[in-house]
Amino acid sequence: MTAAFDFLARRRSHPAKFFDPKGPVPSRQALEPILQAALRVPDHGKLEPWRLVVLTGSALRALGDIAAELAPDAEAGAKGSAIYQSSQLAVAVISSPKPSPKVPEVEQRASAHALCMNLVNAAEASGWGACWLTGWPAHDKAWAARALGCTEGEEVAGLIHIGTPGPEAPDRPRPDLSRVVEWRA
């Protein structure tokens, strides 16, 4: 498992704004194994407390149009719609908790967020660039309902943009373990 550890130790998201706009994106045939790998998350009692929406082309542009329409001002509209106007493929991960006396909603929502991270890692491990984005539209109930069909109780956990990576993704400073880790014995 050294290769897997090395991948995780070096991984960094490829910002969607740096994807090659002329490069390919995974076909349905190439994306399905990535989705299968990503779905190997803790789902707490096999509840499958999430659903996925794969978006390409005009479906992505429509998300941007809805964001521009619902934005509180022109600046938010431009920012909220920009990624959908330039992206070629995104997978929306919708947190969709199920009634359960055994599994708290917070754990079901955590499963959807774990799915987002798994999807980024699976896409990157397959040689694609991937980026987990949200932004204000993803947290706006009206946008989520119109753009992705979210119903009462559902939330957008993330939008994973996948494409051909452009230049090497910039790294960012990583946390200092001495500041964020407490050791107890």
Q: From the annotation, which residues make up the binding site for FMN? A: 11-13, 40, 44, 132-134
Spacing of C-alpha 161 from chain mean position: 7
Residues 46/92/156/104 CA torsion (nearest 10 deg): 10
Distance CA 118, CA 41 (A): 7
Distance CA 65, CA 162 (A): 20
Distance CA 79, CA 64 (A): 9
- Judge whether 145 and 155 are in contact, CB under 8 Å: no
94-125 b/e with 16+ CB inside 10 Å = b?
bbbbeeeeebeeebbbbbbbbbbebbbbbbbb
From the annotation, which residues make up the binding site? 11-13, 40, 44, 132-134
The residue whose two tokens read 């969709």 is: 96
